[in-house]
């Protein structure tokens, strides 16, 4: 069964804290993504990765970084959390075939920065 | 750049009503088009997709036709159920890009179906 697992569903962090959001997929997918979801804005791509140790900036990378040390794991890092990063974060993955493959999403992580 | 525009929500319908959620896009060439659904408390699931003009995607009674001439991909269902209550997202992958890369999403449309 397809599975993208995000380690934390709900987090509350203080301004200035370093925050790690972890994502693991069990489908041996090459591609992994981090999106944030905000009301009225839909989903916006933060970073993505096509391979281990590889990363590419998405549309809104400012204030974020990522790490992909193993194929199945893709971490989103907020170096110094701010209140405008309060949001729902969604991890996703897809296979390496020619385009048209399905993207699978995790259940999301609700982050509140106070 | 690429963009997706969905009809404003929320949408509230009675059970067995006809559903249309409008989606139009801006992109060069022939993007792939998708509808994703997000049930309460869950992540997004692919509902249907179409990869070339005039293709019709269908799943679970939902349909959408890729209309290149009007740059649209409207979602329809003939008879909605309470269990269809969810947020629906229209999305595209740019023409020529590899699988799943750089999905661009619309704002999402909240659908509530009352018994």
- Please spell the DSSP secondary structure of B94-113, one letter per residue: -TTPPTTTT-EE---EEEEE
Asked if the Cβ–Cβ distance from B100 to A98 is below 8 Å, we say: no
In chain B, the residue whose alpha carbon lies closest to the alpha carbon of A38 is B107
Comparing CB atoms, the residue among A41, A97, A107 nearest residue B99 is: A97
Q: Supply the pLDDT for residue B97.
A: 63
For residue A33, which residues of chain B lie inside 8 Å, CB to CB?
100, 103
Asked if the Cβ–Cβ distance from A43 to B89 is below 8 Å, we say: yes
Q: Are strands A19-21 and A109-113 parallel, antiparallel or unpaired?
A: unpaired
Reading phi first (left if > 0) and then psi (alpha if -120 to 50, else beta), residue A16 is in left
Asked if A15 and A112 count as a contact pair (C-beta separation under 8 A), the reply is no
Asked if A3 and A26 count as a contact pair (C-beta separation under 8 A), the reply is yes
Q: Supply the pLDDT for residue A100.
A: 46
Q: Supply the pLDDT for residue B22.
A: 97
Mean pLDDT of all residues in chain B?
A: 91
Asked if B73 and B51 count as a contact pair (C-beta separation under 8 A), the reply is no
Asked if the Cβ–Cβ distance from B100 to A99 is below 8 Å, we say: yes
Mean pLDDT, residues B79-85: 97
Comparing CB atoms, the residue among B43, B45, B102 nearest residue A45 is: B102
Looking at the predicted structure, is the pLDDT value of residue B54 above 80? yes
**Read out DSSP for B32-61?**
EEEEEEE-TTS-EEEEEEE-STT-EEEETT
Mean pLDDT, residues B93-115: 81
pLDDT range class, residue B98, cuts 50, 70, 90: low
Mean pLDDT, residues B29-46: 90
> Which residues in chain A land under pLDDT 50?
98-100
More confident residue, B60 or A39: B60
Comparing CB atoms, the residue among A4, A33, A40 nearest residue B107 is: A40
Alpha-carbon distance values, B86 to A22, B22, B41, B80, B112 (Å) = 26, 16, 10, 11, 7
pLDDT range class, residue B65, cuts 50, 70, 90: very high
Q: Supply the pLDDT for residue A22.
A: 97
Give the percent of chain B with pLDDT over 90: 70
Q: Which 8-state DSSP code applies to residue A103?
A: P
What is the C-alpha separation between A23 and B2, in angstroms, rounded? 27
Looking at the predicted structure, is the pLDDT value of residue B101 above 70? no
Q: Supply the pLDDT for residue B1.
A: 81
Q: Supply the pLDDT for residue A39.
A: 83
Asked if the Cβ–Cβ distance from A105 to B45 is below 8 Å, we say: yes
């Amino acid at each position: 069964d397809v599975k993208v697992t995000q380690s934390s569903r709900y987090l509350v962090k203080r301004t200035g804290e370093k925050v790690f959001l972890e994502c693991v997929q069990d489908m041996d997918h090459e591609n992994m993504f981090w999106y944030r979801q905000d009301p009225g804005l839909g989903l916006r791509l933060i970073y993505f990765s096509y391979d281990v140790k590889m990363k590419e900036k998405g549309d809104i990378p400012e204030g974020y970084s990522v790490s992909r040390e193993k194929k199945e794991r893709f971490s989103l890092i907020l170096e110094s959390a701010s209140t405008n990063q309060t949001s729902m974060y969604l991890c996703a993955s897809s296979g390496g075939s020619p385009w048209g493959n399905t993207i699978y999403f995790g259940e999301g992580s609700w982050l509140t920065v106070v | 750049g690429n963009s997706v525009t969905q009809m404003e929500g929320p949408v509230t319908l009675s059970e067995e009503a006809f559903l249309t959620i409008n989606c139009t896009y801006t992109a060069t060439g022939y993007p792939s088009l998708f509808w994703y659904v997000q049930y309460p408390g869950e992540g997004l699931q692919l509902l249907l997709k179409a990869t070339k003009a005039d293709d019709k995607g269908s799943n679970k009674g939902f349909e959408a036709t890729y209309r290149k001439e009007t740059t649209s991909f409207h979602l329809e269902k003939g008879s909605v159920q309470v269990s269809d209550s969810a947020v629906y997202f229209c999305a595209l992958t740019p023409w020529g890009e590899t699988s799943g890369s750089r999905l661009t999403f619309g704002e999402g449309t909240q659908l509530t179906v009352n018994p």
